[in-house]
Amino acid sequence: MQQSSGRPLKYEPRAGREFPGASTWDLGCNFLTRLRARQDHASMVDHESHMALLEALHDEIEPQRNVWQNPFAIAKAEVAFRIVLSAIRLHGLQVAGKTCLDLGCGAVNPLVRLFPLLMLGAKQVQGFELEPVRNSWKAVKFLADVVAAAVVDPSRVFGDLEVDRMQLLANLADFDLAKMARGEMSGIPAARATLVQRSIVATGLASGSADVLMSNSVLEHLPDLDAAMAEWARITPSGGYGMHGIDVIDHRSYAKATIHPLEFLTIASKEPIVFESNRFRLHEFEALFARHGFVVLEQWRGPKLTIPDDVRRRMVEPWRSMPIAQLEYGWSQFLVRKK
Protein backbone atom coordinates (compact mmCIF):
# COMPACT_ATOMS: atom_id res chain seq x y z
CA MET A 1 0.00 0.00 0.00
CA GLN A 2 1.28 3.43 -0.88
CA GLN A 3 2.07 5.63 2.15
CA SER A 4 0.95 9.16 1.40
CA SER A 5 -1.55 11.73 2.59
CA GLY A 6 -3.11 11.82 -0.89
CA ARG A 7 -5.01 9.08 -2.62
CA PRO A 8 -2.91 6.00 -3.33
CA LEU A 9 -3.96 5.49 -6.93
CA LYS A 10 -4.38 7.82 -9.83
CA TYR A 11 -6.77 6.63 -12.47
CA GLU A 12 -5.98 7.53 -16.03
CA PRO A 13 -8.45 6.71 -18.76
CA ARG A 14 -7.04 3.90 -20.86
CA ALA A 15 -6.15 4.76 -24.44
CA GLY A 16 -9.11 4.49 -26.74
CA ARG A 17 -11.60 4.42 -23.85
CA GLU A 18 -12.45 8.08 -23.48
CA PHE A 19 -16.00 9.26 -23.92
CA PRO A 20 -15.86 12.74 -25.41
CA GLY A 21 -19.10 14.63 -24.86
CA ALA A 22 -20.48 12.18 -22.29
CA SER A 23 -21.57 13.89 -19.06
CA THR A 24 -20.78 12.59 -15.57
CA TRP A 25 -24.47 11.72 -15.39
CA ASP A 26 -24.30 9.61 -18.58
CA LEU A 27 -21.12 7.88 -17.48
CA GLY A 28 -22.49 7.35 -13.96
CA CYS A 29 -25.71 5.77 -15.28
CA ASN A 30 -23.73 3.52 -17.57
CA PHE A 31 -21.36 2.53 -14.78
CA LEU A 32 -24.22 1.80 -12.36
CA THR A 33 -25.93 -0.38 -14.96
CA ARG A 34 -22.74 -2.38 -15.46
CA LEU A 35 -22.17 -2.72 -11.72
CA ARG A 36 -25.70 -4.02 -11.26
CA ALA A 37 -25.10 -6.57 -14.00
CA ARG A 38 -22.35 -7.96 -11.70
CA GLN A 39 -19.64 -8.70 -14.23
CA ASP A 40 -17.41 -11.66 -13.54
CA HIS A 41 -13.73 -10.90 -13.17
CA ALA A 42 -11.27 -12.83 -15.24
CA SER A 43 -8.62 -13.09 -12.53
CA MET A 44 -7.86 -12.19 -8.91
CA VAL A 45 -5.80 -9.20 -10.08
CA ASP A 46 -8.73 -8.07 -12.21
CA HIS A 47 -11.01 -8.40 -9.18
CA GLU A 48 -8.59 -6.47 -6.95
CA SER A 49 -8.27 -3.59 -9.38
CA HIS A 50 -12.07 -3.50 -9.60
CA MET A 51 -12.19 -3.21 -5.80
CA ALA A 52 -9.51 -0.51 -5.81
CA LEU A 53 -11.56 1.43 -8.35
CA LEU A 54 -14.71 1.12 -6.20
CA GLU A 55 -12.81 2.36 -3.14
CA ALA A 56 -11.38 5.31 -5.05
CA LEU A 57 -14.84 6.20 -6.33
CA HIS A 58 -16.23 5.87 -2.80
CA ASP A 59 -13.53 8.21 -1.40
CA GLU A 60 -14.29 10.71 -4.14
CA ILE A 61 -18.07 10.47 -3.84
CA GLU A 62 -18.52 10.43 -0.06
CA PRO A 63 -17.50 14.07 0.64
CA GLN A 64 -19.49 15.25 -2.38
CA ARG A 65 -22.67 13.53 -1.26
CA ASN A 66 -22.53 14.76 2.36
CA VAL A 67 -24.25 18.08 1.69
CA TRP A 68 -27.58 19.33 2.99
CA GLN A 69 -29.12 19.21 -0.48
CA ASN A 70 -28.86 15.42 -0.39
CA PRO A 71 -31.85 13.96 1.49
CA PHE A 72 -29.72 10.99 2.60
CA ALA A 73 -26.76 12.94 3.95
CA ILE A 74 -25.85 13.33 7.62
CA ALA A 75 -25.34 17.01 6.75
CA LYS A 76 -29.07 17.17 5.95
CA ALA A 77 -29.95 16.03 9.48
CA GLU A 78 -27.47 18.49 10.99
CA VAL A 79 -28.75 21.48 9.01
CA ALA A 80 -32.36 20.56 9.83
CA PHE A 81 -31.44 20.36 13.51
CA ARG A 82 -30.10 23.95 13.69
CA ILE A 83 -33.47 25.54 14.41
CA VAL A 84 -34.11 22.96 17.16
CA LEU A 85 -30.72 23.83 18.61
CA SER A 86 -31.72 27.47 18.68
CA ALA A 87 -35.02 26.62 20.37
CA ILE A 88 -33.14 24.60 23.03
CA ARG A 89 -30.39 27.17 23.56
CA LEU A 90 -32.29 30.41 23.40
CA HIS A 91 -35.95 29.63 23.99
CA GLY A 92 -36.14 26.95 26.66
CA LEU A 93 -37.18 23.93 24.57
CA GLN A 94 -36.67 20.65 26.43
CA VAL A 95 -37.01 17.78 24.01
CA ALA A 96 -37.09 14.89 26.49
CA GLY A 97 -40.57 13.44 26.88
CA LYS A 98 -42.08 15.55 24.11
CA THR A 99 -44.34 14.62 21.19
CA CYS A 100 -43.01 16.05 17.92
CA LEU A 101 -44.50 16.17 14.43
CA ASP A 102 -43.15 16.81 10.95
CA LEU A 103 -46.10 18.05 8.89
CA GLY A 104 -45.72 17.27 5.18
CA CYS A 105 -42.52 15.36 5.93
CA GLY A 106 -42.11 14.17 2.33
CA ALA A 107 -41.93 10.69 0.84
CA VAL A 108 -38.17 10.51 0.39
CA ASN A 109 -36.63 10.60 3.86
CA PRO A 110 -39.62 11.26 6.11
CA LEU A 111 -37.98 10.98 9.54
CA VAL A 112 -34.76 12.89 8.84
CA ARG A 113 -35.91 15.90 10.89
CA LEU A 114 -37.58 14.02 13.71
CA PHE A 115 -35.10 11.25 14.41
CA PRO A 116 -32.50 13.45 16.15
CA LEU A 117 -35.26 14.46 18.58
CA LEU A 118 -35.86 10.80 19.43
CA MET A 119 -32.14 10.48 20.14
CA LEU A 120 -32.52 13.39 22.57
CA GLY A 121 -35.31 11.55 24.38
CA ALA A 122 -38.50 12.71 22.66
CA LYS A 123 -41.36 10.46 23.75
CA GLN A 124 -42.89 10.08 20.31
CA VAL A 125 -42.56 11.46 16.78
CA GLN A 126 -45.00 11.36 13.88
CA GLY A 127 -44.42 12.27 10.26
CA PHE A 128 -47.57 13.34 8.41
CA GLU A 129 -47.53 12.97 4.63
CA LEU A 130 -50.04 12.20 1.89
CA GLU A 131 -47.55 10.26 -0.24
CA PRO A 132 -46.32 6.78 0.72
CA VAL A 133 -42.58 6.44 1.44
CA ARG A 134 -40.74 5.93 -1.82
CA ASN A 135 -38.00 3.60 -0.60
CA SER A 136 -38.48 2.59 3.03
CA TRP A 137 -35.37 0.38 2.98
CA LYS A 138 -33.21 3.38 2.18
CA ALA A 139 -35.02 5.73 4.56
CA VAL A 140 -34.76 3.34 7.53
CA LYS A 141 -31.14 2.40 6.83
CA PHE A 142 -30.27 6.11 6.72
CA LEU A 143 -31.60 6.56 10.27
CA ALA A 144 -29.21 3.87 11.53
CA ASP A 145 -26.41 5.79 9.77
CA VAL A 146 -27.48 8.93 11.65
CA VAL A 147 -27.29 7.07 14.96
CA ALA A 148 -23.83 5.71 14.09
CA ALA A 149 -22.60 9.15 13.07
CA ALA A 150 -23.99 10.77 16.23
CA VAL A 151 -22.51 8.16 18.54
CA VAL A 152 -19.06 8.46 16.96
CA ASP A 153 -19.18 12.25 16.70
CA PRO A 154 -22.32 13.96 18.10
CA SER A 155 -21.38 17.27 16.46
CA ARG A 156 -22.10 15.77 13.03
CA VAL A 157 -25.80 15.77 13.92
CA PHE A 158 -26.21 18.07 16.93
CA GLY A 159 -23.71 20.85 16.14
CA ASP A 160 -22.18 22.20 19.35
CA LEU A 161 -24.96 20.96 21.63
CA GLU A 162 -23.44 19.02 24.49
CA VAL A 163 -24.83 15.50 24.37
CA ASP A 164 -23.98 12.31 26.21
CA ARG A 165 -23.40 9.52 23.67
CA MET A 166 -24.45 6.79 26.09
CA GLN A 167 -27.66 8.72 26.78
CA LEU A 168 -28.33 8.94 23.02
CA LEU A 169 -28.20 5.15 22.84
CA ALA A 170 -30.24 4.76 26.04
CA ASN A 171 -32.92 6.97 24.47
CA LEU A 172 -33.12 4.44 21.61
CA ALA A 173 -33.13 1.33 23.83
CA ASP A 174 -36.47 0.19 22.38
CA PHE A 175 -35.20 0.43 18.77
CA ASP A 176 -33.59 -2.54 17.03
CA LEU A 177 -30.67 -0.68 15.45
CA ALA A 178 -29.31 -3.79 13.69
CA LYS A 179 -32.65 -4.27 11.94
CA MET A 180 -32.70 -0.59 11.04
CA ALA A 181 -29.18 -0.87 9.58
CA ARG A 182 -30.61 -3.60 7.31
CA GLY A 183 -33.38 -1.22 6.29
CA GLU A 184 -36.14 -3.08 8.14
CA MET A 185 -38.99 -0.86 9.28
CA SER A 186 -39.81 -3.35 12.07
CA GLY A 187 -36.69 -2.09 13.89
CA ILE A 188 -38.61 1.09 14.71
CA PRO A 189 -41.13 0.79 17.55
CA ALA A 190 -44.50 2.23 16.49
CA ALA A 191 -44.99 3.69 19.98
CA ARG A 192 -42.00 5.99 19.34
CA ALA A 193 -42.16 6.79 15.61
CA THR A 194 -44.92 6.53 13.04
CA LEU A 195 -45.70 7.77 9.56
CA VAL A 196 -49.28 8.91 9.19
CA GLN A 197 -50.70 9.06 5.70
CA ARG A 198 -53.33 11.74 6.13
CA SER A 199 -53.81 15.45 5.62
CA ILE A 200 -52.04 17.93 7.87
CA VAL A 201 -55.18 20.04 7.76
CA ALA A 202 -57.13 17.36 9.67
CA THR A 203 -54.57 15.45 11.74
CA GLY A 204 -57.07 13.59 13.91
CA LEU A 205 -54.85 14.33 16.94
CA ALA A 206 -56.23 15.39 20.32
CA SER A 207 -56.20 19.11 21.13
CA GLY A 208 -52.96 20.26 22.78
CA SER A 209 -51.26 16.89 22.21
CA ALA A 210 -48.22 17.89 20.07
CA ASP A 211 -45.43 19.88 21.75
CA VAL A 212 -43.23 20.55 18.71
CA LEU A 213 -44.55 21.03 15.17
CA MET A 214 -42.16 21.18 12.25
CA SER A 215 -42.70 21.74 8.58
CA ASN A 216 -40.36 22.41 5.72
CA SER A 217 -41.33 23.72 2.30
CA VAL A 218 -44.96 22.90 2.95
CA LEU A 219 -46.85 26.04 4.01
CA GLU A 220 -46.26 27.73 0.65
CA HIS A 221 -48.12 24.87 -1.07
CA LEU A 222 -51.33 24.91 0.98
CA PRO A 223 -54.45 26.40 -0.61
CA ASP A 224 -56.13 27.32 2.70
CA LEU A 225 -53.53 28.55 5.16
CA ASP A 226 -55.99 29.62 7.83
CA ALA A 227 -57.56 26.15 7.92
CA ALA A 228 -54.13 24.54 8.30
CA MET A 229 -52.93 26.98 10.93
CA ALA A 230 -56.17 26.66 12.91
CA GLU A 231 -55.58 22.89 13.05
CA TRP A 232 -51.92 23.33 14.02
CA ALA A 233 -52.89 25.81 16.74
CA ARG A 234 -55.55 23.39 18.02
CA ILE A 235 -53.13 20.50 18.49
CA THR A 236 -50.35 22.68 20.02
CA PRO A 237 -50.58 23.28 23.78
CA SER A 238 -49.81 26.68 25.25
CA GLY A 239 -45.98 26.97 25.30
CA GLY A 240 -45.62 24.47 22.41
CA TYR A 241 -43.22 25.25 19.56
CA GLY A 242 -43.45 25.52 15.79
CA MET A 243 -40.50 25.41 13.38
CA HIS A 244 -41.45 26.18 9.83
CA GLY A 245 -39.21 26.64 6.79
CA ILE A 246 -41.08 28.49 4.05
CA ASP A 247 -39.91 28.89 0.48
CA VAL A 248 -41.88 31.64 -1.23
CA ILE A 249 -40.20 31.74 -4.64
CA ASP A 250 -41.60 30.61 -7.95
CA HIS A 251 -40.58 26.94 -7.95
CA ARG A 252 -40.27 26.95 -11.75
CA SER A 253 -37.05 28.93 -11.25
CA TYR A 254 -35.40 25.81 -9.74
CA ALA A 255 -35.62 24.02 -13.05
CA LYS A 256 -35.09 27.00 -15.35
CA ALA A 257 -32.58 29.69 -14.47
CA THR A 258 -34.20 32.12 -16.95
CA ILE A 259 -37.35 32.24 -14.81
CA HIS A 260 -37.04 34.91 -12.12
CA PRO A 261 -37.87 33.72 -8.56
CA LEU A 262 -40.73 36.24 -8.43
CA GLU A 263 -42.01 35.69 -11.98
CA PHE A 264 -45.24 34.12 -10.70
CA LEU A 265 -46.22 37.45 -9.14
CA THR A 266 -46.73 38.76 -12.71
CA ILE A 267 -49.59 36.29 -13.34
CA ALA A 268 -53.15 37.53 -12.83
CA SER A 269 -55.16 34.64 -11.39
CA LYS A 270 -57.80 34.11 -8.72
CA GLU A 271 -56.73 30.48 -8.22
CA PRO A 272 -55.45 29.79 -4.69
CA ILE A 273 -52.48 27.89 -6.12
CA VAL A 274 -50.40 29.08 -9.07
CA PHE A 275 -47.49 26.91 -10.19
CA GLU A 276 -47.77 24.89 -6.97
CA SER A 277 -47.63 27.91 -4.68
CA ASN A 278 -50.13 30.07 -2.78
CA ARG A 279 -47.85 33.09 -3.43
CA PHE A 280 -48.16 34.41 0.14
CA ARG A 281 -45.22 36.65 1.11
CA LEU A 282 -43.21 36.20 4.29
CA HIS A 283 -44.81 39.11 6.19
CA GLU A 284 -48.19 37.47 5.54
CA PHE A 285 -46.96 34.30 7.22
CA GLU A 286 -45.95 36.39 10.24
CA ALA A 287 -49.50 37.74 10.35
CA LEU A 288 -50.88 34.20 9.92
CA PHE A 289 -48.93 32.94 12.93
CA ALA A 290 -50.10 35.92 15.02
CA ARG A 291 -53.77 35.37 14.02
CA HIS A 292 -53.58 31.82 15.34
CA GLY A 293 -51.89 32.62 18.64
CA PHE A 294 -48.24 31.94 17.75
CA VAL A 295 -45.51 34.41 18.74
CA VAL A 296 -42.55 34.58 16.36
CA LEU A 297 -39.37 33.96 18.41
CA GLU A 298 -36.90 33.80 15.54
CA GLN A 299 -36.95 34.43 11.86
CA TRP A 300 -33.96 33.40 9.78
CA ARG A 301 -34.16 34.79 6.27
CA GLY A 302 -32.28 33.67 3.20
CA PRO A 303 -30.29 36.09 1.02
CA LYS A 304 -32.09 39.04 -0.59
CA LEU A 305 -33.39 38.54 -4.10
CA THR A 306 -32.45 40.99 -6.81
CA ILE A 307 -35.62 42.25 -8.46
CA PRO A 308 -35.04 43.66 -11.96
CA ASP A 309 -37.15 46.68 -12.98
CA ASP A 310 -38.79 44.62 -15.70
CA VAL A 311 -40.12 42.03 -13.22
CA ARG A 312 -41.22 44.75 -10.78
CA ARG A 313 -43.11 46.59 -13.58
CA ARG A 314 -44.93 43.45 -14.71
CA MET A 315 -46.12 42.42 -11.22
CA VAL A 316 -49.88 42.41 -10.75
CA GLU A 317 -51.82 43.40 -7.63
CA PRO A 318 -51.49 42.93 -4.72
CA TRP A 319 -47.73 42.55 -5.25
CA ARG A 320 -47.37 45.58 -7.54
CA SER A 321 -48.19 47.88 -4.59
CA MET A 322 -46.14 46.02 -1.99
CA PRO A 323 -42.95 47.72 -0.83
CA ILE A 324 -39.76 46.03 -2.04
CA ALA A 325 -38.96 45.18 1.59
CA GLN A 326 -41.92 42.79 1.60
CA LEU A 327 -40.90 41.10 -1.64
CA GLU A 328 -37.14 40.77 -1.55
CA TYR A 329 -36.78 37.64 0.57
CA GLY A 330 -37.54 34.23 -0.87
CA TRP A 331 -37.06 31.95 2.12
CA SER A 332 -37.43 32.04 5.87
CA GLN A 333 -37.23 29.68 8.79
CA PHE A 334 -39.69 30.64 11.54
CA LEU A 335 -39.47 29.56 15.15
CA VAL A 336 -42.78 30.25 16.88
CA ARG A 337 -44.32 29.51 20.27
CA LYS A 338 -47.97 29.18 21.15
CA LYS A 339 -49.20 31.77 23.64
Helix segments in 6-164, DSSP class H: 24-36, 44-65, 74-91, 115-119, 136-152, 155-158
199 binds ligand SAM (CB under 6 A): yes
Q: Which residues contact 125 (CB under 8 A, 6 or more apart)?
A: 99, 100, 101, 102, 111, 114, 115, 117, 118, 192, 193, 194
Distance in angstroms (rounded) separating the CA atoms of residues 204 and 207: 9
Report which of 213, 270, 224, 275 is spatially closest to residue 248, judged by C-alpha positions.
275
Choosing from 201, 230, 296, 311, the residue that interacts with ligand SAM (CB under 6 A) is: 201
130 binds ligand SAM (CB under 6 A): yes
- CA separation (Å) from 21 to 27, 34, 303, 305? 10, 20, 35, 35
CB 203, min distance to ligand SAM, A: 9
> Quick check: 318 and 281 in contact, CB under 8 A?
no
Helix segments in 154-281, DSSP class H: 155-158, 165-170, 177-181, 225-235, 252-255
**What are residue 301's phi and psi, to 5 degrees?**
-100, 150
217 binds ligand SAM (CB under 6 A): yes
CB 137, min distance to ligand SAM, A: 19
**Site size with ligand SAM, rule: CB under 6 A:** 15
CB 65, min distance to ligand SAM, A: 17
Choosing from 140, 200, 229, 248, the residue that interacts with ligand SAM (CB under 6 A) is: 200
Q: Which of residues 236-255 bind ligand SAM (CB under 6 A)?
A: none
Which residue, 227 or 287, has its beta carbon nearer to ligand SAM?
227
> Quick check: 241 and 213 in contact, CB under 8 A?
yes
194 binds ligand SAM (CB under 6 A): no
216 binds ligand SAM (CB under 6 A): yes
Side-chain-side CA neighbours of residue 91 (13 Å): 19
CB 105, min distance to ligand SAM, A: 5
CB 106, min distance to ligand SAM, A: 3
> Quick check: 72 and 109 in contact, CB under 8 A?
yes
Choosing from 105, 150, 163, 335, the residue that interacts with ligand SAM (CB under 6 A) is: 105
Which residue, 107 or 296, has its beta carbon nearer to ligand SAM?
107
Which residue, 92 or 132, has its beta carbon nearer to ligand SAM?
132
218 binds ligand SAM (CB under 6 A): yes
Residues that bind ligand SAM (CB under 6 A): 104-107, 128-131, 199-201, 216-218, 221
